[in-house]
Structure 1
Amino acid sequence: MPRIGVTGHVRLADGTAELVYAALSATLATHDGPLHGVTCLADGADQLFARAVAALGGTFEVVLPAADYRTVVDDRESFDDLLGKAIRVDYLPYARSDAAAYFAASDELLNRVDHLIAVWDGVASDVVSSTAHVVRTARDRGLPVTVIWPAGARRA
């Protein structure tokens, strides 16, 4: 069973979540056989990915960066709902959600997947917890990366 991970922008402009969800659903629907996702369940792209995987009858696991992660997400109700649907939840050994914890979570996610979907506008960044950095790291490791950024999508 292929293990598909996600990275992507957290802050999406009004109307963009619907575009991204549709694109994620269409992309994930092309995978043959059982669908299994790996996500850090961040706001934005990660949660949309988890919803799309579940809607397509797949399963997903969650890698949480730190013990306090729930306190930093914007939509705790959505986070809690999705966390309850995960077949596996792992917390990394960080007390606080910071750049080091985010980097470690992305690294762990990449260790667990065969393919990465990036909800990414293509803008480069040297920030180690950025979508651009995760995409670059995945490519450096030889992981296939599918970039999704639908027409009309914008970051908030």
Structure 2
Amino acid sequence: MTTLSVTGHMDLTEASAGPVREALRALLLRHGGDGLIGVSCIAEGADSLFADEVLRAAGRLVVVLPSRDYRRSVVSSAHAPFFDRLLAAAGEVCVMPYETAGRAAYEAANAAVLDRADRLVAVWNGEPPTGKGGGTADVVQEARARGIAVDVVWPAGAARKG
């Protein structure tokens, strides 16, 4: 049994979805197999693409939500149907003990994702942390500090909006 947790950019371009999905599918084939568990916060972008591919690979999805109000206050109306489908398909949902989303809730969710990880999948462009805390680069740094293997996924054609 292998538990793969994910971190990644939320602001992937629409054209990035296909190449990122293909790269994730290949990675899941390498590390998955019987007993695959995927841990994700199912945020828009990388987290949701990863979660969807875990389900397509017949893996068990564990969802970590940063706060009780996350769906209502953070999930965009455009992302909501995908979010709801992934949440309904989850084998387990863990909600951090925060009423409202915010830095502390996100940091707790990131820590919970890492606590469960055998490996971390990072859909990441490799850029250093911004200094704001809680971003993809910060999670990668923390995983490496903990000795968790990190698989970086950033295929040709992947890009961030803006």
Name the counterpart of 1:73: 75
Aligned with 1:146 (options 136, 142, 151): 151
Look up the equivalent residue of 2:26 and give its one-letter code: A
Shift >3 Å, 4+ stretches = none
User: How many residue pairs end up in the alignment?
Assistant: 156
Matched residue SS, 2:53: helix
Query: Could you report, residue by residue, the CA deviation over 1:74-102 in whole angstroms, capped at 9, with x for unpaired residues?
Result: 21111000000000001101111111111
Residue 5 of structure 1: how far off its partner (Å): 0.1
Look up the equivalent residue of 2:41 and give its one-letter code: C
TM-score (norm 2): 0.93
Residue 7 of structure 1: how far off its partner (Å): 0.2
Query: 2-side partners of 1:98 and 1:129: how far apart?
Result: 10
Name the counterpart of 1:63: 64
Query: 2-side partners of 1:67 and 1:87: how far apart?
Result: 18
| 1:1-156 mapped onto 2 (5 Å cutoff) | 1-31=1-31, 32-71=33-72, 72-74=74-76, 75-125=79-129, 126-156=131-161
- List alignment gaps of at least 5 residues for structure 2: none
Query: 1-side partners of 2:148 and 2:34: how far apart?
Result: 20
Matched residue SS, 1:30: helix
Matched residue SS, 1:7: strand
Matched residue SS, 2:25: helix
C-alpha RMSD of the superposition: 0.9
Query: 1-side partners of 2:112 and 2:136: how far apart?
Result: 15
Look up the equivalent residue of 1:8 and give its one-letter code: G
Query: 1-side partners of 2:157 and 2:39: how far apart?
Result: 26
Query: 1-side partners of 2:50 and 2:14: how far apart?
Result: 17
Residue 14 of structure 1: how far off its partner (Å): 2.4
Query: 1-side partners of 2:43 and 2:134: how far apart?
Result: 12
